[in-house]
Amino acid sequence: MQRWRWKLDIMRAVKYFVVILFSILSAGICAQDIKIDAEISTALKDNIYLSKLNYPKSVARFYTDNYSGYSWTDSLQRQDQLEIALALLTRADHYGLSRSDYHLESLSFEKLKQWRDFPSEKNKKEKASFDILLTDGLITFMNHLHFGKYNPLYDSSALDSSRINGFCADELLSTARMQTDFQGAILKAQPKIKAYSDFQAYLDRSYTANNGITAQAELGKIIINMERLRWISTQSDNYIMVNIPSYTLEFHQGDEISDFKVVVGKPATKTPVLESEINYFSTAPEWRVPQSIFLHEILPEILEDRSYLADHNYIVYDASGNEVVVSASTRRQIAKNPYSYSIRQSSGQDNALGAVVFRFQNPHAVYLHDTPQKQFFDRGKRALSHGCVRVENADRLAAMLLSYDGSEYKISELENAILSYEKKDFVLSKPIPIIITYLTCLIKNGKPALYTDIYQFDKPLEARFDQNK
């Protein structure tokens, strides 16, 4: 009995010792974490320190919402992620970005090695600063990957204050820390568009193989065009992309790409850069002539040639929308007050919109359409329109859209409507994203292909990047 009590007393003593030891260790660990918390908390309340950060609100949210007693620099669990993070920032040029934007003057592998080899309490404040700067560097890197540095719609203040199009860099960083593939989770911030992926793969190959790209002109073009691609919000694998400088339209369906030649706007009547969705297309369209074209191009023809209207299937309407019978007297009235009149061109072989027009919402009132002037597609330089995009083989694109939409059975109906000049609307149950962009460089057959900067859009953007070299 006594031996049993003796064993029980020993067990109680051991248990008590373990509890005391655990409490002491826990107190020490908690004290250490509280000290780190205090250093970071103090730094994030210092306006002078916050002014050094690119995204102070995002950094504060990251620590407030996700900080759980450890940091990049003090948690052995995060050492691998910390090294991956530093490696990403030091290889920012592989993504068409500048390493000078991510605090690398204060972040280095040498400091990490020093802390590991010579741990010291006096390093706590320096570690907290390193931790915060690394967080801000990563958030900046992800925002630059996703939105670009000079996005015309969203500046850094807007990105720092709220979620934009479902994207929030500090939330993505928090999620990435929980992932096995930390680097892959960070890089999900990049655009999905194939043209961008081609650029990034080319840069990565070139820097890895040559320790840098020698052709600075090519590098500059790649960087500004990657920036433009980051301004696009489309994330779908299926989309239509019109590139103005290359005079091309690409219909992307996953890995399958169909190419079409296009005619785009003249420098005086530029085709706008935009994003939208094609909801429907129509056969045998009626062309409501824009007032500027009526005033400057068609009105002089009407006044000079009495048969011009009939020869080209134009009908004149007054301000109330009533059809006007054109005679010598009405011609004088039209010439005297042209702003009170408008014209439309009925469908037919000569209709400027051709056999098919593709509609999508946009503030510029532009669209894709067929054209009776097929000879223009044989030209190398095709900046010839008033702003809308003319598509070669528009009937083929229309049939492909029906197949994409799961409506192959309507293709024969489409063909008959085109042949008979019958007006029909074909509404898509799956609207297709359309991107009209301006890329003066693309990767073709593994090499950069440069295109003429027909609207002179490159120089202002190149100047902004040159300032940051």
Active-site hit among 103, 146, 252, 369: 369
Cα–Cα nearest to 103, from 113, 124, 114, 89 = 89
Q: Does 369 participate in catalysis according to the annotation?
A: yes
Q: Which of 144, 168, 312, 388 is catalytic?
A: 388
For residue 392, CA distances in Å to 110, 262, 386, 418 come to 58, 6, 17, 15
Residues with catalytic roles? 369, 388
